[in-house]
Structure 1
Amino acid sequence: MIAADPQKEVLFASDMHLPAGPSEYRDALLALLEGPARQAQALFLLGDVFEYWLGDDVSGQDHGETLRALAHCAKTGTRLYFMPGNRDFLVSDRLLTRYGITMLPDPVIVALPDGPALLSHGDQWCTQDEAYQRWRRFAHWRPAQAGFRALPRRLRRQLAQRLRARSQALGRMTADDLLDVNPAAAERAFATFGVRRIIHGHTHRPDIHAMRGGTRIVLPDWRPGDYRYLRADCRGLTIHRIR
């Protein structure tokens, strides 16, 4: 369990989907790092921070400015935590350590100022989409990851673009309930980990769900002109916009 100082706030964000190079999304993250995150004891990034990660040798360069900004924030005293999502699971622990960021397992319990919570990216609980779960198991298979990293850089970029287009097309064709968290899977997580609160992203459906096992908070995904994060302090949880 990761402990937090009850007197200091903790921030959460996920699903920024930062493209390579300059963008409004990157500007918003830089504003978060230079502003609210400086006053917080910790910032938890719960997956899909990047639109896709093609390996440290490629995406590490594409997102160099973002990584340097994260490192600078860490040096000022804010603890930074990164949990891989379904778009950026190829980020290596070695690279994160180099920039002062701690890799998190999925899921993990954190003791927040107002009580414990289970953190996750959330995609593992979308169990009704069996095709996605098969792909997820394959994508997290180490030999498959090693094989992808060994491909030429240009080919990796091409494959990522094709997968993104295919994902968008399937998303438009797939029933909404298949893309969301399975309530039964969330209930099992409450029981397995003995918590009354879950915080996750992935679904792009920000909301607060009162469930039999506890409360499930879905983080807001970032959209053009709408960049939000979750703040936890001794008074509870609140959503804030980056100005």
Structure 2
Amino acid sequence: MTNTTAQIEAQPKLVALFASDVHLHPSLPRTTEFFFEFLRMQAHLAEQLYLLGDLFEYWAGDDDMETAYHQQVIAELKSVSNAGTGLFWMAGNRDFLVGERFAKAIGAELLGDIYTANIAGHAITMTHGDAQCTDDTGYMQFRAMVRQTGWQEQFLLLPLTERKTIIEGLRKGSKMEQKEKTAAIMDVNPEAIKQLFLDHHADTLIHGHTHRPARHQHAEGLRYVLPDWECDIAPEEMRGGWLAIYENGEIIFHHLNGDTSSSFTPQINTPP
């Protein structure tokens, strides 16, 4: 996935990068290393890096930062912001408990659930994507509960080990429930997407969450869906990548296998 120096010099200036659903975890060493390589070889060249949720498999609270693995992730992200790249963090459905302590440690700005910016001539609205899966009513009820400040404050008062046990139980339960749900229910709702375009006057929408990488043409504009990352399975099934915007306004998908394209061919889908 590493570009040659000649290729880098031939490209227009790299303005912004977008990635999501990396699902970092100590049990996924190859995925972790591929993400670190992305930070070292790509993010250092960009003016901005937007991480749009689920960077971690789960996050139990900022008091879990001291593990050796999390310290390694923090050091790699901090090197990006130290290099002058603006680092922006958006919560996903797995790491919404990331707080100011973590953001300060990596030199990032925490974004809300929806963020709009003008980048290289595009009016871009970004979101993780789970809030637009409105057909999954059970998940939407759960999401509304755990995103409440009061619920989070009470949860974070529990011992860290207890929180992790609860989260693991929720993840197992979620996987069981997903077997009973149709693919359509777990995808974004078309009307919710349309409303995002209209409410934020966007011509481009970028999100992750669904693990269905693609470029969609809507009447209101273009929608880019970011891929999830999985590099610890067979090489031929490896998936992942990022979206790049250059100073000339060009928007390009970069696959982990080194391919580039203006649209993603959907890969093997896994539940979000």
- Contact 1:8–1:113 (CA<8 Å) still a contact in 2? no
Counterpart CA distance in 1 for 2:224 and 2:91 is 18
Q: C-alpha displacement at 1:134, in angstroms?
A: 0.7
Aligned-partner SS, 2:179: helix
* 8 Å CA contact 2:126, 2:206 repeated in 1: yes
Aligned partner of 1:11 in structure 2 is 17
Structure 2 CA distance for aligned equivalents of residues 189 and 49 of structure 1: 23
Please name the residue that 1:26 is paired with: 32
In structure 1, C-alpha distance between the alignment counterparts of 2:56 and 2:65, rounded to whole Å: 9
Instruction: Name the structure 1 match of 2:72.
Output: 65
**Partner amino acid for 1:147?**
Q
Aligned with 1:36 (options 37, 42, 45):
42
How many residues of Structure 1 are paired with residues of Structure 2 in the alignment?
Answer: 238
Contact 2:62 2:101 in 1 (8 A): no
Report the Cα distance in structure 2 between the residues aligned to 1:46 and 1:107, rounded to whole angstroms: 10
- The normalised TM-score by structure 1 is 0.93
Residue number in structure 2 paired with 1:218: 225
Q: Unpaired segments of 5 or more residues in structure 1?
A: 1-5
Instruction: Quickly say closer, same or farther: Cα 1:54–1:20, change in 2 above 3 A.
Output: farther
Q: How big is the alpha-carbon RMSD for the aligned residues of Structure 1 and Structure 2?
A: 1.6
Partner of 1:3: none
Which residue is equivalent to 2:166? 159
| Counterpart in the other structure of 2:3 | none
Once the two structures are TM-superposed, the CA of residue 107 in structure 1 deviates from its matched residue by 0.6
CA contact (8 A) 1:228 1:242 kept: yes
Instruction: Check the 8 A contact 1:7/1:113 in 2, yes or no.
Output: no
Relative to structure 1, the CA distance from residue 117 to residue 53 in structure 2 (aligned partners, 3 Å threshold; closer, same or farther) is: same
C-alpha contact (below 8 Å) 2:135/2:189 kept by paired residues: yes
Q: 1:49-64 to 2 correspondence within 5 Å? A: 49-59=55-65, 61=67, 62-64=69-71
Instruction: Give, as a single letter, the amino acid of the residue that structure 2 aligns with 1:172.
Output: K
Does the CA contact (< 8 Å) of 2:126 and 2:205 recur in 1? yes
Contact 1:28 1:227 in 2 (8 A): no
Q: Does 1:142 align with 2:155?
A: no
- Structure 2 letter corresponding to 1:12: F
Which runs of at least 4 in structure 1 moved beyond 4 Å after TM superposition?
none
Identity %: 34
Q: Distance in 2 between matches of 1:60 and 1:109?
A: 33
What one-letter code is carried by the residue in structure 2 that aligns with 1:162?
G
Please say if residues 82 and 101 of structure 1, whose CA atoms lie closer than 8 Å, have aligned partners that are also in contact. Answer: yes
Q: Is the 8 A contact 1:114 1:236 kept in 2?
A: no
Q: Residue in 1 aligned with 2:192?
A: 185
Matches of 2:124 and 2:115, distance apart in 1: 8
Secondary structure of 2:124's counterpart equals strand
Deviations 1:3-41 (A, max 9, x none): xxx954211000001114661121111101110111111
Distance 1:22 1:68, change over 3 A: farther
**Aligned match for 1:200, one of 181, 186, 207:** 207
